[in-house]
Amino acid sequence: MPTSVEDLINPGVDDVIADSKLHGNIDPAQDQTMVLNMGPQHPSTHGVLRVVLEVDGESVVALAPDIGYLHTGIEKTCEAKFYQQVVPLTDRIDYLCPMTNNLTYCLAVEKLLQLEIPERAQYLRVLLNELTRLNSHLVWLGTHAMDIGALTVFLYCFREREEILRIFEMVAGQRMMTSYFRIGGLSMEPPIDFYDRVRNFLKIMPEKIAEYENLLTGNPIWMGRLKDVGHLSAADAIALGVTGPPLRASGVDWDLRRDMPYSGYEKFKFDVPVSQVGDVWARYEVRMKEMYESVKIATQALEGLPDGRITADAPKIILPDREQMKTQMESLIHHFKIVTEGFAVPAGQVYQGVESPRGEMGYFVVSDGTAKPFRVHMRNPSFATLQALETMCKGRLLADVVAVIGSIDIVLGEIDR
């Protein structure tokens, strides 16, 4: 068990290539290894991840992930926008959980503003966040299964994901880049038929998860590919900053929703699935169980949804109703002011962490008292989890690398920002 951080520092791409030259003897007959470049265009690196591998036949001697192919400068862009204009940018970080990113950013800024969010908005936020988790886990399951070679599960997962995206479209008008949350609440009331649609979906969802499990869980080939592959010990996981399902699969019982509740999560009853094994199979099991828990939380949020406002009572921060804006002078002034010069946020700095489908998603926002953030930094779960790739894959076969990349469920947009 490596205890010092030095042991866990990953080699870079250059190190792997240089190492390969060291391992390779000058005599070609003695040269046993070759450098294999996986990505950035590769079917199973989930976007534009590049992994440089030193392989001896089929087994991996060393590997280094290379990131930055999807760098879009979102953090820097945030500094040029008003606080409310940053929300659409947060969608683009992670195309699989836009709602979670919206929420994290809004919570962080609301902390600075010390806004009181009405309970109805909190419940809706929780509901949509759990739907987002289901959405993200469905894509994970589909692509993970496809990497292992089970093609059909992907289409089944996307069938249910489609329904989630339609629900998102209902509330936000957008399927993926929702930007539905606002600083201080939500952008608008959900339409009337939203509730029935979500209720129906949550009713059938447990059956569907059982259907996926039916296709995969007992399958000997699936078990053979996942069990005893890509071990990550609890100590390594903590040292590398791994969070979320991979951390819980390594036996650390840590879930921000329960341990550091936000947005009213303390009012919901749910279990946190934990596994002690720490291999790819454990991560699969933990995520599958999490999907059932998400359905539970979303059902509680839907059934217990209180009446009331969906925005905080802060007219200088929240855009007024269209109706009011056209009839009341004061509202028109507020509207004009917010749109043209934003709203000032008290100076200070704040960190807000949220349990995203991939782990701890955190926003660190620094305000200098103006209407634009001085600095927005995102702490992304995929970035930390990707660090563990080398620890999990070293000495394994090439096919295991694919299984491990699938199991850590990374989104490159989130890593590169």
Partner 1 sequence: MHLSDFQLFVLITIIKIAVVLVITLTAVAYTVLLERKVIGRIQNRWGPSRVGPFGLLQPLADGIKLFLKEDLMPMSVERPLFVAAPVIALACALVSVAVVPFGQTFKIRGVDIFEVSNVNIGLLVILGITSIGVYGIALSGWSSNNKYSLMGSLRASSQVISYELALGLSLVGVVLRAGSLNLRDIVNSQIGHGFLSWNFFGGLQFVGFFIYIMAAYAETNRAPFDLPEAESELVAGYHTEYSSMKFAMFFMAEYANMLTVSCVATLLFFGGASSPFEGWIPAFGPTWLQAILPIFWFVAKVFSFLFLYIWVRATLPRFRYDQLMSFGWKFLLPLAMANILATSLVMALRS
> Any idea what the Cα angle at residue 318 is, between residues 294 and 338, rounded to 5°?
135
Task: Count interface residues toward partner 1 (CB under 8 A).
Answer: 31
Q: How far is the CB of 58 from partner 1 (least distance, A)?
A: 5
Judged by CB under 8 A, which of 80, 155, 339, 347 binds partner 1? 155
Q: Are strands 359-367 and 348-356 parallel, antiparallel or unpaired?
A: antiparallel
Interaction between residue 266 and partner 1 (CB under 8 A)? no
352 DSSP β-pair partners: 363
Residues 6+ apart with CB under 8 A from 78: 86, 89, 373, 376
Judged by CB under 8 A, which of 2, 43, 68, 173 binds partner 1? 43
Interaction between residue 141 and partner 1 (CB under 8 A)? no
Interaction between residue 402 and partner 1 (CB under 8 A)? yes
Give the DSSP per-residue string, 85-149: GGHHHHHTT-TT-HHHHHHHHHHHHHHHHTPPPPHHHHHHHHHHHHHHHHHHHHHHHHHHHHHHT
Interaction between residue 225 and partner 1 (CB under 8 A)? yes
Interaction between residue 152 and partner 1 (CB under 8 A)? yes
Interaction between residue 156 and partner 1 (CB under 8 A)? yes
Judged by CB, which is closer to partner 1: 80, or 151?
151
Judged by CB under 8 A, which of 149, 173, 191, 304 binds partner 1? 149
Residues 6+ apart with CB under 8 A from 360: 243, 244, 256, 353, 354, 379, 381
Q: d(Cα 242, Cα 252) in Å, to the nearest integer?
A: 10
Residues 93-112 that bind partner 1 (CB under 8 A): none
Q: Helix %, strand %, coil % for the chain, to 5?
A: 50, 10, 35
Query: Phi then psi for 29, rounded to 5 degrees?
Result: -65, -25
* Length of the chain, in residues: 417
By CB under 8 A, which span of 21-29, 72-80, 126-134, 214-222 interacts with partner 1? 214-222
Interaction between residue 214 and partner 1 (CB under 8 A)? no
Would you give the DSSP letter of residue 79?
T
Residues 44-83 that bind partner 1 (CB under 8 A): 44, 58
Q: d(Cα 46, Cα 413) in Å, to the nearest integer?
A: 10
Q: d(Cα 287, Cα 300) in Å, to the nearest integer?
A: 20
Element (H, E) at 351: strand 348-356
By CB under 8 A, which span of 149-157, 289-297, 298-306, 353-361 interacts with partner 1? 149-157
By CB under 8 A, which span of 188-196, 257-265, 308-316, 398-406 interacts with partner 1? 398-406
Residue pair 376/363 in contact (Cβ under 8 Å)? The answer is yes
What the block records as the tokens of 189 is 């009331």
Judged by CB, which is closer to partner 1: 146, or 247?
146
The closest alpha carbon to 348, from 162, 133, 112, 45, belongs to 112
Interaction between residue 221 and partner 1 (CB under 8 A)? yes
Judged by CB under 8 A, which of 103, 108, 148, 164 binds partner 1? 148
Interaction between residue 151 and partner 1 (CB under 8 A)? yes
Q: How far is the CB of 210 from partner 1 (least distance, A)?
A: 17
Q: How far is the CB of 237 from partner 1 (least distance, A)?
A: 24
Judged by CB under 8 A, which of 34, 80, 204, 347 binds partner 1? 34
By CB under 8 A, which span of 30-38, 114-122, 315-323, 383-391 interacts with partner 1? 30-38
Binding site for partner 1 (CB under 8 A): 34, 36-37, 42-44, 58, 145-152, 154-156, 159, 215-216, 219, 221-222, 224-225, 397-400, 402
